[in-house]
Amino acid sequence: MTRNTVTIAQQDFDVEDLILINEQRAASYGFLSRLFNSEIDTPMFEEVCRADYPVKTGTADVDEGYRLMAGFLGSRWESSLEELAVDYSRVFIGHGMTAYSAAYPFESVYTSEKRLLMQGARDEVLAIYKASGLNKKASWKEGEDHIALELEFQQILCCRIVESLRSGSIGRTHKLLLTQQNFLEDHLISWIPMLTADMKKFAKTDFYLGLAFLTEGFLNLDQEFLAMVLNTNLGPQHSQLLDQNQE
């Protein structure tokens, strides 16, 4: 049986494989986003306890992240949820006395000179969200450069990629992948390693320590994936040419 293929950046890919990979990427981004968004509640806790944690993925940080998180969940007890809530506050909120009391999950904090909120990074990501037809909901009271939102943005783009692939819109798929790559490099990889370094300093539970490793490992993996799919050794003019041909 002939499988459908698609050409992106002068490379052929199996459509179904690409759809599956992007569905998994969406799930991963969504999972990470939720864990950074707020404390784990009972439904989420049950969900993470049901999730699968592979032993060997081929990426050291991801493996270490899974090991630590699974280790915590595999020895959970009556007060694990309370432990996680306390650790979430400790890691991401801190005691608020200094600008170094926690791993503040905002891009502005790590990319502004004085570690302030609502700086240039927030304005930039807000513009990117709007360019993609997105905006934060009224219920979201934090800045738009919160890591949960930035990860969720990538998740949404993954879902759009899946839709584009299913509808056969390869040009759109290519544009979305490029958007993801730029966003990953300009607004995730640029600061999240510093965040995860701080998380490792503040986390007392293996769960949030594992989350730091998992986030680092996944983003590096995703960067490699996007570079591979987009064949980024080629210049941008090649990508634009492809758009004109594929649309």
Partner 1 sequence: MRVNANSSDFSNNHRSETECEASQNSELETTQCENGYLARNIEQELFSAQTDMHNLKSADERIAELFELMKPQRKVLLSILNSCYEKQPVHEINLLVATVQKDNVSVYSAARFCLLLEEAGALARCTYDDDSLKMAVASKPEADFEDCEDYYDVDKPNKVLWLTTLEGRAFVEADNFQDRLLALFLEEETYLPIYKQVLTLCSREEGASLSDISGAIKESPLLKEPPLHAAYFAEKLEKSDALVWKKSWHITDTGKEALLRLGDVVYAQTEDAREVVS
| 134/234 with CB nearer partner 1 | 134
Q: Is 59 in the site for partner 1 (CB under 8 A)?
A: no
CA–CA dist 106, 36 (Å, integer): 11
Q: Is 128 in the site for partner 1 (CB under 8 A)?
A: no
> What's the full length of the chain, in residues?
247
Q: Is 200 in the site for partner 1 (CB under 8 A)?
A: no
Q: Is 148 in the site for partner 1 (CB under 8 A)?
A: yes
CA–CA dist 176, 244 (Å, integer): 15
| 54/168 with CB nearer partner 1 | 54
Distance of CA 79 to the CA centre of its chain: 29
Select from 8, 18, 22, 28 the one that contacts partner 1 (CB under 8 A): 28
Q: Is 12 in the site for partner 1 (CB under 8 A)?
A: no
Q: Are 5 and 13 in contact (CB under 8 A)?
A: yes
Select from 4, 7, 79, 167 the one that contacts partner 1 (CB under 8 A): 79
Kindly report the three-state secondary structure assignment for every residue of 60-110. HHHHHHHHHHHHHHHCCCCCHHHHHHHHHHHHHHCCCCCCCCCCCCEHHHH
Select from 110, 129, 191, 213 the one that contacts partner 1 (CB under 8 A): 129
Q: Is 114 in the site for partner 1 (CB under 8 A)?
A: yes
Select from 88, 104, 110, 153 the one that contacts partner 1 (CB under 8 A): 153
The site that binds partner 1 (CB under 8 A) totals a number of residues, namely 66
Select from 12, 42, 55, 235 the one that contacts partner 1 (CB under 8 A): 55
Kindly compute the dihedral angle of the four CA atoms of residues 234, 239, 244, 247, in this order, to the nearest 10 degrees.
Answer: 130
CA–CA dist 88, 96 (Å, integer): 14
Q: Are 92 and 102 in contact (CB under 8 A)?
A: yes
Residues that bind partner 1 (CB under 8 A): 24, 26-31, 33-34, 37, 44, 47-56, 66-67, 70-71, 73-79, 82-83, 98-101, 113-118, 122, 126, 129-130, 133-140, 143-144, 148-149, 152-153, 155-156, 201, 204
